């Protein structure tokens, strides 16, 4: 089945709003096995809209509209689409009562304009809106269908999840089940490794890359949910065989969520000492509800005297090795672990730019130290000098990944030192 998304609203054409509806609906439709061929945004102009609907109706089996269902004169999606699908609208007393009740709750009286919102399809069907005054509409003309929803994202998403997605699912003979693997690392290296697995008929798999990590979404079509889950799990194993420990979790919002869960499970605690990331690691960890069970102390030590006072990094070590060095990262991690009493700690020092780099330490040079028990690991990151914020985010995510590996006892892609070596700073960085 081929679909097109049509967003209606001059406010979108003026750029006053970012269109998040298109991305939401595209992902949802892809998960249903419906191909979105085109997304478009048009203004509140009847003639242009009618012309556009007619041509899109030729191209696609299903048109999904958002916006233009409001009470004002320029809200004309419903009338226009009805005409294109050979339908008309009629006044619905029950919808009108809902509108009056909705206004009454906020101490207002609906105007004559609001009666427009109580108009519903004559041959098609109305779609209930439990979160606002504008009902949706579903028109059918032979094999061609059009679905109209409000433009407000919360109302649209609720209507989609409560009414439309279930109806579309019911009309399919199969059940769709999805799972999302989350993978540490950059796009091109991963994509090359797994390219053959992305060419499968069922389950399908797709890769989406973000800053410093990728998502692999596996979707199975199956006779029932249990079978679909088993198919997804089996296919996920093929990715794990190739990507190993880089697959850090399944169906979570991000790496901090995984780390917090692992620390919970292992009854461990963590502390963070941050220089170039300036609190990003702490902020990501504390975004996870329940983080306070495993995270108590964060140190943002931007100045050398903060590193000395809070973490015990000796000024002489900074003097000798540079503040951006493995020696300092190791002492930051160790100092944070000891000062906080946490089981694990991370220390991060680097150059996020834009200024301050030189040939030896270009912008994007970051050292991450992780301390656990009597061991300290140090990783030298050479990040591309993209932007200050991206360097900081990549460094934070690398730090969270090293903490995950250390918490799980996985092999560490980093130089390993004893706490005594880290404390003395008398060690040399190994060439990688």
Site for a copy of itself in 30-49 (CB under 8 A): 30, 36-43, 48
- 8 A C-beta contact, residue 239 and residue 194: yes
Nearer to a copy of itself, 37 or 200 (CB): 37
Contacts of 430 (CB under 8 A, 6+ apart): 415
Q: Which residue of 340, 343, 349, 415 would you call a contact of a copy of itself, by CB under 8 A? A: 340
- 8 A C-beta contact, residue 181 and residue 215: yes
Q: Which residue of 196, 289, 409, 411 would you call a contact of a copy of itself, by CB under 8 A? A: 289
**C-alpha–C-alpha distance, residues 421 and 130, integer Å:** 64
User: Residues binding a copy of itself: what is the number (CB under 8 A)?
Assistant: 75
Q: Which residue of 24, 96, 321, 427 would you call a contact of a copy of itself, by CB under 8 A? A: 24
Q: Does 300 bind a copy of itself (CB under 8 A)?
A: yes
Q: Which residue of 62, 218, 243, 310 would you call a contact of a copy of itself, by CB under 8 A? A: 310
Output b/e per residue, 33-61; b: 16+ Cβ within 10 A: ebebeebebbebeeeebeebbeebbeebe
Instruction: Considering only residues 207 through 226, tell me which ones interact with a copy of itself, judged by CB under 8 A.
Output: 208
Candidates 115-123, 220-228, 230-238, 298-306: pick the segment binding a copy of itself (CB under 8 A): 298-306
Instruction: Considering only residues 135 through 174, tell me which ones interact with a copy of itself, judged by CB under 8 A.
Output: 154
Q: Which residue of 28, 87, 246, 401 would you call a contact of a copy of itself, by CB under 8 A? A: 28
- 8 A C-beta contact, residue 285 and residue 272: yes
Nearer to a copy of itself, 86 or 341 (CB): 341
Nearer to a copy of itself, 40 or 88 (CB): 40
What phi, psi does 206 have (nearest 5°)?
-140, 150
Nearer to a copy of itself, 91 or 208 (CB): 208
**C-alpha–C-alpha distance, residues 39 and 358, integer Å:** 46
Cα separations (Å) of 10 from 22, 41, 42, 43, 364? 16, 9, 7, 5, 42
- From the list 99, 98, 89, 70, the residue with the least C-alpha distance to 139 is 89
Q: Which residue of 101, 167, 223, 302 would you call a contact of a copy of itself, by CB under 8 A? A: 302
Nearer to a copy of itself, 225 or 287 (CB): 287
Instruction: Considering only residues 351 through 410, tell me which ones interact with a copy of itself, judged by CB under 8 A.
Output: 353-355, 382, 384-389, 392
**C-alpha–C-alpha distance, residues 50 and 55, integer Å:** 9
Instruction: Considering only residues 102 through 131, tell me which ones interact with a copy of itself, judged by CB under 8 A.
Output: 105-107
**C-alpha–C-alpha distance, residues 270 and 299, integer Å:** 12
Instruction: Considering only residues 50 through 79, tell me which ones interact with a copy of itself, judged by CB under 8 A.
Output: 52
Instruction: Considering only residues 230 through 259, tell me which ones interact with a copy of itself, judged by CB under 8 A.
Output: none
Q: How far is the CB of 432 from a copy of itself (least distance, A)?
A: 11
Q: Does 91 bind a copy of itself (CB under 8 A)?
A: no
Half-sphere CA count of 336, side-chain side, radius 13 A: 34
Q: How far is the CB of 2 from a copy of itself (least distance, A)?
A: 11
Q: How far is the CB of 315 from a copy of itself (least distance, A)?
A: 14
Here the tokens at position 331 are: 């002492």
Q: Does 278 bind a copy of itself (CB under 8 A)?
A: yes
Q: Furthest-apart CA pair in the chain: how many Å? A: 83
Contacts of 45 (CB under 8 A, 6+ apart): none
DSSP state at residue 162: I
Q: How far is the CB of 256 from a copy of itself (least distance, A)?
A: 11
- 8 A C-beta contact, residue 83 and residue 50: yes
Pairing of strands 213-222, 175-184: antiparallel
Q: Which residue of 68, 124, 228, 298 would you call a contact of a copy of itself, by CB under 8 A? A: 298
Q: How far is the CB of 384 from a copy of itself (least distance, A)?
A: 5
Nearer to a copy of itself, 195 or 230 (CB): 195
Q: Does 306 bind a copy of itself (CB under 8 A)?
A: yes
Nearer to a copy of itself, 39 or 140 (CB): 39
CB atoms within 10 A of CB 309: 13
Q: Does 192 bind a copy of itself (CB under 8 A)?
A: no
């Amino acid at each position: 089945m081929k679909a097109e998304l049509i967003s209606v609203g001059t406010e979108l054409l003026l750029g006053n709003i970012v269109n998040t509806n298109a991305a939401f609906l595209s992902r949802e439709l892809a998960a249903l096995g419906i191909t979105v061929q085109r997304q478009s945004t048009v203004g509140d102009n009847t003639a242009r809209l009618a012309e556009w609907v007619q041509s899109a109706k030729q191209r696609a089996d299903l048109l999904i509209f958002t916006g233009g269902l409001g009470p004002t004169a320029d809200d004309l999606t419903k009338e226009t689409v009805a005409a294109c699908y050979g339908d008309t609208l009629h006044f619905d007393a029950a919808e009108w009562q809902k509108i009056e009740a909705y206004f009454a709750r906020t101490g207002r009286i609906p105007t004559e304009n609001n009666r427009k919102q109580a108009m519903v399809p004559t041959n098609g069907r109305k779609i209930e809106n439990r979160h606002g005054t504008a009902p949706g509409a579903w028109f059918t003309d032979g094999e061609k269908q059009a679905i109209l929803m409000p433009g407000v994202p919360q109302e649209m998403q609720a209507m989609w999840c409560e009414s439309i997605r279930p109806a579309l699912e019911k009309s399919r003979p199969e059940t769709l089940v999805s799972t999302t693997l989350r993978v540490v690392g950059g796009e091109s290296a991963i994509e090359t490794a797994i390219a053959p697995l992305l060419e499968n008929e069922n389950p399908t798999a797709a890769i989406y890359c973000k800053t410093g990590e990728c998502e692999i979404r596996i979707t199975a079509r199956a006779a029932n949910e249990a079978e679909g889950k088993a198919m997804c799990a089996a296919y996920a194993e093929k990715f794990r065989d190739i990507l190993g420990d880089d697959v850090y979790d399944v169906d979570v919002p991000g790496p901090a969520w995984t780390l917090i869960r692992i620390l919970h499970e292992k009854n461990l605690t963590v502390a963070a000492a941050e220089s170039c990331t300036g609190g990003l690691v702490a902020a990501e960890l504390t975004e996870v509800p329940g983080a306070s069970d495993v995270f108590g102390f964060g140190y943002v030590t931007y100045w050398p005297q903060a590193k000395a006072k809070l973490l015990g990094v000796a000024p002489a070590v900074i003097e000798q090795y540079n503040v951006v060095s493995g020696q300092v990262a190791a002492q930051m991690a160790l100092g944070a672990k000891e000062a906080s009493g946490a089981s694990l700690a991370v220390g991060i020092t680097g150059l996020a730019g834009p200024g301050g780099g030189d040939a030896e330490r270009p912008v994007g040079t970051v050292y991450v130290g992780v301390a656990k028990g009597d061991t300290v690991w140090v990783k030298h990151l050479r990040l591309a000098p993209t932007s200050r914020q991206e360097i900081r985010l990549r460094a934070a995510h690398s730090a969270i990944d090293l903490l995950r590996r250390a918490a799980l006892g996985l092999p560490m892609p980093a130089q390993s030192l004893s706490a005594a070596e880290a404390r003395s700073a008398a060690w040399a960085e190994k060439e990688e």
